Amino acid sequence: MTGAGRGIGRAVAVELAGPGVTVALLARSPDELAETAAQVRARGGTPVEIPVDLAETEKIGAAVERAREAAGTIDTLVNNAGVVWPLGPTAAVDPGEWATAITINLVAVTALTLAVLPGMLAQRRGRIVNVSSGAAARPDSMIGGNAYVTSKTALEAHTLNLAGELADSGVTVNVYRPGAVETPLQGWIRSRDPDQIGEGLHERFVRMHADGALITPEHTARCLVGHLADADTGQVWTVT
């Protein structure tokens, strides 16, 4: 489970947890991972805290190996970690930041997937879920978030293409669009300077919050985990 330290990732990790279930928790912040681990333990699950910066893709193999050693086998991979930055006019964006965002939101996902796939294919069983965004369906809905929209659109293409390749392998690969969820990511966008990220973008996120349009991380986590029971593959799941 990536991005397991807070927001949607923490809620999914806790929802997955139960007696006999080992949940590997990946993110950078050790204190946030520790809090998620406590919540996993409270549900009877076994947490494994794996602090890792997914932008450093060369470290992903070792992180997955740690998870495999702790759990025995890896049955489910939820690629949830993601960043919404850099926001603002694309001409003003630092190219290095743009590339790092693509690395976290897309390249790291493929590195994690490639690391778990051989084991899943050998056991003919696996579930891979890639957390995307409604912005992938409407790239013009998030003007000023060029790296984010680019990464999520490519993530969905990667997912659906891989699902076709893995048809009948026992390994399913699906997209999940979580809806608009009240998480630290949403609060971070609202806290930005409208002059820097663009008034339209800022106003949209402030309004969603003010209108009570945001759902809870627990709500979207239940929906995501509910989908794991079926054998669908190559689907774009949306929160209900």
Distance CA 203, CA 109 (A): 30
Name 59's Cβ contacts closer than 8 Å, sequence gap at least 6. 52, 53
Helix (H) or strand (E) holding 109: helix 108-123
Measured from the Cβ of residue 110, the count of other Cβ atoms closer than 10 Å reads: 17
Residue numbers annotated as active site: 148
Q: Which of 6/202 has CB closer to ligand NAP?
A: 6
CA distance 83 to 166: 28
Please give the angle made by the CA atoms of 206, 207 and 208, to the nearest 5 degrees.
95
178 binds ligand NAP (CB under 6 A): yes
75 three-class SS = coil
- Least distance in Å: CB of 25 to ligand NAP? 9
Here's the x/- map for ligand NAP, 127-166, by CB under 6 A: it reads as ----x-x---------------------------------
Task: Establish if 34 lies at the interface with ligand NAP (CB under 6 A).
Answer: no
The residue type found at 57 is: T
| Residue type at 238 in one-letter notation | T
Strand order in the sheet with 76-79: 76-79, 126-131, 171-177, 236-238
Amino acid at 50: I
Q: Is 183 in the site for ligand NAP (CB under 6 A)?
A: yes
* Identity of the residue, 4 or 163, whose beta carbon is nearer to ligand NAP in the bound complex: 4
The residue range among 42-50, 61-69, 164-172, 173-181 that interacts with ligand NAP, by the rule CB under 6 A, is 173-181
**Piece in contact with ligand NAP (CB under 6 A), picked from 50-58, 111-119, 136-144, 190-198:** 50-58
Question: Could you say which residues in the range 200-229 bind ligand NAP, by CB under 6 A?
Answer: none
47 binds ligand NAP (CB under 6 A): no
Least Å distance, CB 44 to ligand NAP, is 22
Helices (H) and strands (E) in the chain, counts: 10, 6
Question: In this structure, are strands 76-79 and 126-131 parallel, antiparallel, or unpaired?
Answer: parallel
Other Cβ atoms less than 10 A from the Cβ of 194: the count is 13
Nearest to ligand NAP of 134, 234 (CB atom): 134
Q: Does 113 bind ligand NAP (CB under 6 A)?
A: no
Number of residues in contact with ligand NAP under rule CB under 6 A: 28
Does 78 contact ligand NAP by CB under 6 A? no
User: Could you tell me the smallest distance in angstroms from the CB atom of residue 48 to ligand NAP?
Assistant: 15
Which residues lie near ligand NAP (CB under 6 A)?
A: 3-9, 27-29, 32, 53-55, 80-83, 104, 131, 133, 178, 180-181, 183-186
